[in-house]
Structure 1
Amino acid sequence: MYSAGTGIVYRFHGCDRSFGKKIINQKLTLKNSKNEYDWLGNGMYFWENSPSRALEYAENLKENPRQAKQPIKDPCIIGAILHLGNCLDLLDYENLKILKAGFELLKATTDKLPKNIAIGKLNELMVRKLDCAVIQTIHQVRREESLREFDSVRGVFWEGAELYPNAGFREKDHIQLCIRNPNCIKGYFYPRKINTDYYQL
């Protein structure tokens, strides 16, 4: 009952400015990511409460074009007005049990488990083939058993270097949201800058 959330939320997506303009003007729609290494399974990805991190992500793709599905010449961010619907919220203890059960089922039904792969100088699990397969298994089982499917998936990730020696926090810690049901997206907008003449609400 409580995992369903509180209704409308605002999240952010990094992209090229021309692409973002077409999304906001409803000339294009975001497409599901369908990589076998997607951290939260297949769907449309958004950053939670962090437009600056969404912009940094787009800027990184501009600098590393081979990682981008579409070339980014002018990085920007768009905001999304979302309703999470039936959310597999992995910050909820009960839903972590579902995730573990999904792993056990995957392990019992496959000859060779995919692996999460650590890359980079910080040796972080950036290629999440196992996690993606587990989450996709959960979706498949619910579909086959005619259970209500999850509209979205939400997860927290620790990323980057330690903020300070022996810290429990890292430079790029964040929460991501994967939207599976496009009807969760109620609209898009350009985030406004704060008017410094007034208090921020």
Structure 2
Amino acid sequence: MRLLRYAINVTLDGCCHHEAGLPPDEESMSWWTREMQRADAVLFGRVTYEMMESAWRRPATGRWPDWMQPWETPFAEAIDRVEKHVVSSTLDAVDWNAELVQGDLGQAVRRLKEQPGEGLFVGGVQLPLALADRGLIDEYVFLVQPVLAGHGPTLLSGLRERVHLEPVDRQVLRSGTVAQRFRPVRSGG
């Protein structure tokens, strides 16, 4: 069974808008590349899928764009080739090595988790909230950036019930960003 990992950049005040934190640097991109390489597949909502595709899909020419730094290429290659599952009620079709998730979200994600492999990665804002509400996230990974955004969408805003987490790992990057990994504390015996 694959673990479902939710990973996202977040500011100290909880903002998780992709432009609110620090611009990516070589160390953070290397961290994200390793995280992406731990995934057999990714699960995105429509907004995150379209944003990631516009930035990281290999152009038809086969050459990465001139704006991309050499240290960004390994991440681009990792996300470009990984299998993608897209949750959307507005898209009729997807490509970029992707398929639409059909039917009941909880059942569909449980089926994806039951497949063999190392991990299933989810990013974004709204979809992870729905998955957290259903108790489907096995690991939370936050890159907490030393920035106060003061506005924007906040991490898991609207969560119906508190999720107790236990720390698993912590790494401080040179930028001051702290990569923290948590697992939910499952109740019951």
Say whether the fold is shared (TM-score over 0.5).
Answer: no
TM-score by length of 1: 0.28
Q: RCO greater where, 1 or 2, for CA within 8 Å and sep 6 or more?
A: 2
Question: If you compute each CA radius of gyration, which structure gives the higher value, 1 or 2?
Answer: 1
